[in-house]
């Protein structure tokens, strides 16, 4: 078990051990960010009826064929069709109906003339300044979607615009996967709360806050269980609290390495199963995964950058696996290195700054050092640059994979 496994092996091992959560019904005001548990098929045609895309006049296109600005055809306006009203007239040759955007097209009409292409000609007539073709300015029934069409597939994370589509289709609520309940634990004798005064030898707990928000951003329900000192009984007590809270996943940080006081890994071995605890990556080699009393548990490294990277590389996909989401990493793009980048042959996730340029994306490392305790440098970065396993030098100008961080837009 002391074996060093690759990032890919670790990800595969995690994914096969995560269980899908149950489904529940979710109303439209709560559904954004949730994961669909079923394929959504349309129950209607969209648009549901032929309608005007402009404010104008519904006409027979043939009536306008000869019209020109100097010699306009005159049509008699026989009715008014506002949006929301079913028309009760039929358009015959020589007549038109005033029609508003979104109003149903009356029988007999096969085109709409925008109001800008007309001039009034007495109280109930218009002059047509330009001809229209059949179909012009009409949104025909079913052009966007036909009843029965597949609209969204199971596993889709619902976006704001998707909720609008669901509303158009007549869904009040949809089945989604339950939100995972995630418990966050920090461990270490040196840790203080942010509000406590610093005393010699102590530092403030950063990880439980970073991990709390990373987990929240996946739309999970997140509980912070606090800090356990380096005492096996106290660590176990916090893990048991996670069990009591019916956590679907426990994320702890620190205490998984080879230090004298690294108890987390030992506890997982005793009260659960440890799948692995060493991954061939940088930062974050000591990274444990297993289950504690049946609940999947990550023992992320204590160094704050390693914990963050460990979350993106392993925990995020694990959460998606629980909620049926697709595995593709939406953060990933390709960029070109602007400088030579050295690595030690481990798969590396380096803090980088990515910029858009006319020819694509360019990437360089942040100015700050890449020490895994240097959390601030992660705030200065807007991407992680991935050096593949086995590669020790990327010359300037190499195409690399980068993962854009959420602050990418702001830099
Ligand atoms: P460990 O994995 O326990 O050896 O911790 C590795 C490093 O991460 C040490 O320098 C710890 O002080 C630091 N560390 C552990 N937990 C946290 C935390 N919650 N917030 C900030 N730094 C931490
Ligand atoms: Mg420690």
For the stretch 386-397, pLDDT in tens is: 999 999 999 999
Q: Which band of pLDDT confidence, cut at 50, 70 and 90, is reported for residue 232?
A: very high
Question: What is the C-alpha separation between 286 and 4, in angstroms, rounded?
Answer: 9
Q: Is 371 in the pocket of ligand 1 (CB under 6 A)?
A: no
* Region label for 85, one of left (φ > 0), alpha (ψ between -120 and 50) or beta (otherwise): beta
The pLDDT value given to residue 165: 98
Q: What is the pLDDT of residues 143-183, one digit of tens each?
A: 999 999 999 999 999 999 999 999 999 999 999 999 999 99
Q: Which band of pLDDT confidence, cut at 50, 70 and 90, is reported for residue 194?
A: very high
Q: What is the pLDDT of residues 219-228, one digit of tens each?
A: 999 999 999 9
Q: Give ∠ CA 210-258-186 in degrees, rounded to 5.
A: 25
Q: At what angle do helices 264-271 and 232-244 cross, to 10 degrees?
A: 60
**Ligand 1, closest atom to CA 227?**
19
Strand partners, 74: 127
Q: What is the pLDDT of residues 7-48, one digit of tens each?
A: 999 999 999 999 999 999 999 999 999 999 999 999 999 999
Strand partners, 187: 228
- Residue 137's SS3 state is coil
C-alpha torsion sign, points 320, 321, 326, 327: positive
- Environment class of 32 (CB within 10 Å of its CB; exposed 0-12, middle 13-18, buried 19+): middle
Q: Is 302 in the pocket of ligand 1 (CB under 6 A)?
A: yes
Q: What does pLDDT average to over the chain?
A: 95
Backbone angles phi, psi at 409, to 5 degrees: -65, -30
Question: How far, in Å, from the CA of 242 to the mean position of ligand 2?
Answer: 20
Question: What is the C-alpha separation between 112 and 381, in angstroms, rounded?
Answer: 53
Mutate to test the pocket of ligand 1, among 229, 254, 257 (most ligand atoms within 8 A of CB): 254
Alpha helices (runs of H) in 251-337, residue ranges in sequence order: 264-271, 304-310, 316-322
Mutate to test the pocket of ligand 1, among 303, 308, 309, 378 (most ligand atoms within 8 A of CB): 303
Which ligand is in closest contact with the Cα of 286?
A: 1
Q: Is 303 in the pocket of ligand 1 (CB under 6 A)?
A: yes
Span 327-338, average pLDDT: 86
User: Which two structure tokens, joined as six digits, stand for 222?
Assistant: 């997140």
The pLDDT value given to residue 10: 97
Q: Any idea how long the chain is? A: 411
Span 332-356, average pLDDT: 97
The pLDDT value given to residue 157: 92
pLDDT higher than 60, residue 56: yes
Q: Is 255 in the pocket of ligand 1 (CB under 6 A)?
A: yes
- Which residue from 166, 169, 224, 148 is spatially nearest to 34, judged by alpha carbons? 166
**Ligand 1, closest atom to CA 254?**
2
Quote the DSSP letter at residue 21: P
- Which residue from 117, 125, 132, 116 is spatially nearest to 78, judged by alpha carbons? 125
Question: What is the C-alpha separation between 363 and 402, in angstroms, rounded?
Answer: 8
Q: Is 287 in the pocket of ligand 1 (CB under 6 A)?
A: no
Which ligand is in closest contact with the Cα of 230?
A: 2
pLDDT higher than 70, residue 400: yes
The pLDDT value given to residue 215: 97
Q: Is 372 in the pocket of ligand 1 (CB under 6 A)?
A: no
Q: Is 190 in the pocket of ligand 1 (CB under 6 A)?
A: yes
- Distances from the Cα of 19 to the Cα of 216, 260, 295, angstroms: 19, 34, 10
The pLDDT value given to residue 306: 98
Question: How far, in Å, from the CA of 186 to the mean position of ligand 1?
Answer: 9
The pLDDT value given to residue 324: 77
Q: Which band of pLDDT confidence, cut at 50, 70 and 90, is reported for residue 60?
A: very high
The pLDDT value given to residue 81: 97
Question: How far, in Å, from the CA of 114 to the mean position of ligand 1?
Answer: 67
HSE-up of 351 (CA within 13 Å, CB side)? Answer: 22
Q: Which band of pLDDT confidence, cut at 50, 70 and 90, is reported for residue 1?
A: low
Quote the DSSP letter at residue 195: T
**Ligand 1, closest atom to CA 306?**
8
The pLDDT value given to residue 327: 60
pLDDT higher than 90, residue 352: yes
Q: Which band of pLDDT confidence, cut at 50, 70 and 90, is reported for residue 411?
A: low
Percentage of residues in the chain with pLDDT exceeding 90?
93
The pLDDT value given to residue 310: 97
Q: What is the pLDDT of residues 365-381, one digit of tens each?
A: 999 899 999 999 999 99
- Which residue from 291, 248, 290, 250 is spatially nearest to 21, judged by alpha carbons? 248
Q: Is 254 in the pocket of ligand 1 (CB under 6 A)?
A: yes
Q: What is the pLDDT of residues 236-245, one digit of tens each?
A: 999 999 999 9
Residue with tokens 């358009």: 91
Q: Which band of pLDDT confidence, cut at 50, 70 and 90, is reported for residue 68?
A: very high
Span 231-238, average pLDDT: 98
Q: Is 35 in the pocket of ligand 1 (CB under 6 A)?
A: no
Q: Report yes or no: 239 and 340 within 8 Å, Cβ to Cβ.
A: no
Q: Is 206 in the pocket of ligand 1 (CB under 6 A)?
A: yes
Q: What is the pLDDT of residues 271-298, one digit of tens each?
A: 999 999 999 999 999 999 999 999 999 9
The pLDDT value given to residue 119: 97
Q: Report yes or no: 185 and 226 within 8 Å, Cβ to Cβ.
A: yes
Mutate to test the pocket of ligand 1, among 184, 185, 188, 284 (most ligand atoms within 8 A of CB): 188
Question: What is the C-alpha separation between 51 and 28, in angstroms, rounded?
Answer: 27
Which ligand is in closest contact with the Cα of 258?
A: 1
Q: What is the pLDDT of residues 76-120, one digit of tens each?
A: 999 999 999 999 999 999 999 999 999 999 999 999 999 999 999
Q: Is 288 in the pocket of ligand 1 (CB under 6 A)?
A: no
Question: How far, in Å, from the CA of 265 to the mean position of ligand 2?
Answer: 12
Q: Is 191 in the pocket of ligand 1 (CB under 6 A)?
A: yes
pLDDT higher than 90, residue 326: no
**Ligand 1, closest atom to CA 206?**
20
Q: Which band of pLDDT confidence, cut at 50, 70 and 90, is reported for residue 132?
A: very high
């Amino acid at each position: 078990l002391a074996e060093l496994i690759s990032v890919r092996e670790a990800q595969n091992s995690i994914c096969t051990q995560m269980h899908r959560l149950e489904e529940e019904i979710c109303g439209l005001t709560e559904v954004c960010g949730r994961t669909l548990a079923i394929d959504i098929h349309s129950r209607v045609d969209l648009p549901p009826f032929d309608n005007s895309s402009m404010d104008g006049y519904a006409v027979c296109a043939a009536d306008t064929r000869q019209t020109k600005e100097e010699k306009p055809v005159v049509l008699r306006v026989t009715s008014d069709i506002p949006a929301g009203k079913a028309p009760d007239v039929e358009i015959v040759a020589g007549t038109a109906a005033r029609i508003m955007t979104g109003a149903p097209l009356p029988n007999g009409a096969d085109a709409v003339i925008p109001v800008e292409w007309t001039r009034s000609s007495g109280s109930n007539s218009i002059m047509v300044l330009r001809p229209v073709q059949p179909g012009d300015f009409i949104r025909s029934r079913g052009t966007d979607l036909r009843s029965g069409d597949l609209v969204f597939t199971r596993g889709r994370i619902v976006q704001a615009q998707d909720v609008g589509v669901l509303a158009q289709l007549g869904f009040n609520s949809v089945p989604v996967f339950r939100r995972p309940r995630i418990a966050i634990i920090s461990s270490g004798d040196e840790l203080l709360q942010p509000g406590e005064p610093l005393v010699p030898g102590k530092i403030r707990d950063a990880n439980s806050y970073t991990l709390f928000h990373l987990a929240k951003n996946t739309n999970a329900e997140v509980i912070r269980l606090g800090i356990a000192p380096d005492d096996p009984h106290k660590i176990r007590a916090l893990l048991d609290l996670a069990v009591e809270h019916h956590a679907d996943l426990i994320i702890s940080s620190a205490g998984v390495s080879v230090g004298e006081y690294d108890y987390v890994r030992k506890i997982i071995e005793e009260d659960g199963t440890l799948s692995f605890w060493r991954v061939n990556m940088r930062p974050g080699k000591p990274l444990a995964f297993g289950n504690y009393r049946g609940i999947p548990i990550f023992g992320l490294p204590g160094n704050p950058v390693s914990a963050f990277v460990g979350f993106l590389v392993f925990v995020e996909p694990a959460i998606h696996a629980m909620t049926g989401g697709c595995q593709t990493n939406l953060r990933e793009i390709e960029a070109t290195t602007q400088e030579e980048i050295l690595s030690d042959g481990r798969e590396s996730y380096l803090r980088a700054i990515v910029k858009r340029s006319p020819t694509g994306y360019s990437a360089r490392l942040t100015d700050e050092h890449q020490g895994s305790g240097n959390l601030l440098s992660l705030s200065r970065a807007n991407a992680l640059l991935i050096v593949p396993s086995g590669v020790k030098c990327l010359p300037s100008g190499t195409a690399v994979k980068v993962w854009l961080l959420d602050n990418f837009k702001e830099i």
